[in-house]
């Protein structure tokens, strides 16, 4: 062939070789890689299904064991309280019979004896029956007669319940802060959603009855009355904060614990200070252990 024809021919040959290599790569991909991938997908899916089943079985077993344990504790506590009540019933029934007998004796003595006989009988009664009468006290309120709700306190149940509640909620509400409740130690962003603490008090209307004048508190604008509610709150890099709920009746003025969130019966808060996480209610702290992801 002439030199002018050999150049295009070489290009065609080179192109054919590239097509052949490309075809071989595609064929290998179809014949080897994709079947291997498909087998890998099937194996991974099978392992994933097995993992899901195993974990749910484990969760179910843990729930079943916890349910059995708590129900047994409830039954034991019910029996204990019931036996205490029965014991009290027997004791006070006997006391009633004794007091009734004493009263009958006194009535008979008053109605059947003359003054001299009454005096002698009264002296005899005072020695013989005073100890018996004084030994019968009046009933007193006792916690032993009540059902102790703490018998069903279970960290596992609380966590499972909280996770279930959060999973079942359709959405979370946005929080907007009521500026009238704002402590002088807090500043509020323009969108009413971000609070910033300042050690210096800002100049505010201290006469506002809704404002917290001592503790660095602020309340949201929208209240809730019943049901389960969820809020998502970003604390960013803050190492000290409190988040919680309270009754609107919580006092706003003064440094007493009545207005300090978490230290009274009207508020429940989750707090963080440095690396210490706690749940607070009525001044009773409960440490909270966080699981690191």
What tens digit of pLDDT does each residue of 184-224 get?
999 999 999 999 998 888 887 777 889 999 999 999 998 88
- Co-location of 206 and 241 in the same domain: yes
**C-alpha torsion sign, points 195, 200, 202, 208:** positive
Confidence label for 290 from pLDDT (cuts 50, 70 and 90): confident
- Co-location of 77 and 192 in the same domain: no
The token pair that represents 227 in the structure block: 């049901």
- Co-location of 5 and 149 in the same domain: yes
- Co-location of 23 and 139 in the same domain: yes
- Co-location of 143 and 173 in the same domain: no
Q: pTM surpassing 0.75? A: no
Please choose, from the candidates 221, 219, 216, 220, the residue with its C-alpha nearest in 3D space to the C-alpha of residue 183: 216
- Co-location of 117 and 34 in the same domain: yes
Tens of pLDDT, residue by residue over 115-157, are 555 555 555 555 455 556 666 778 888 899 999 999 999 989 9
- Co-location of 117 and 215 in the same domain: no
The token pair that represents 211 in the structure block: 């404002």
**Contact by Cβ (8 Å): 204, 147:** no
Provide the domain limits for residue 102: 1-154
Q: How far apart are CA 55 and CA 285, in angstroms?
A: 33
The number of distinct structural domains making up the chain is 2
- Co-location of 31 and 150 in the same domain: yes
- Co-location of 121 and 18 in the same domain: yes
- Residue 96 belongs to a domain: yes
- What CATH number has the domain bearing residue 220? 2.60.120.920
């Amino acid at each position: 062939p002439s030199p002018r024809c050999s150049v295009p021919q070489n290009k065609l040959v080179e192109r054919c070789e590239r097509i052949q290599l490309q075809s071989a790569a595609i064929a290998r991909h179809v014949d080897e890689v994709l079947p291997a991938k498909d087998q890998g997908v099937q194996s991974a899916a099978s392992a994933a299904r097995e993992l899901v089943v195993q974990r749910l079985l484990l969760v179910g077993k843990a729930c079943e064991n916890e349910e059995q344990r708590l129900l047994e504790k409830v039954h034991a506590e019910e029996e204990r309280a019931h036996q205490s009540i029965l014991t009290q019933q027997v004791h006070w029934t006997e006391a009633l019979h004794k007091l009734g007998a004493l009263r009958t004796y006194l009535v008979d003595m008053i109605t059947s004896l003359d003054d001299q006989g009454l005096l002698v009988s009264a002296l005899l009664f005072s020695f013989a029956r005073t100890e018996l009468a004084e030994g019968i006290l009046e009933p007193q309120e006792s916690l032993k007669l009540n059902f102790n709700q703490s018998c069903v306190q279970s960290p596992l149940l609380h966590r499972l319940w909280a996770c279930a509640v959060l999973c079942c909620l359709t959405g979370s509400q946005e929080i907007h802060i009521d500026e009238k409740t704002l402590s002088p130690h807090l500043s509020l962003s323009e969108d009413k959603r971000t609070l910033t603490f300042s050690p210096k008090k800002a100049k505010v209307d201290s006469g506002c009855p809704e404002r917290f004048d001592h503790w660095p508190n602020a309340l949201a604008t929208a209240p809730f009355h019943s049901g389960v509610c969820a809020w998502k709150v970003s604390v960013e890099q803050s190492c000290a904060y409190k988040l919680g709920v309270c009754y609107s009746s919580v006092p706003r003025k003064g440094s007493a614990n009545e207005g300090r969130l978490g230290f009274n019966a009207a508020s429940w808060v989750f707090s963080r200070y440095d690396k210490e996480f706690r749940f607070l209610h009525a001044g009773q702290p409960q440490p909270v252990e966080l699981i690191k992801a």
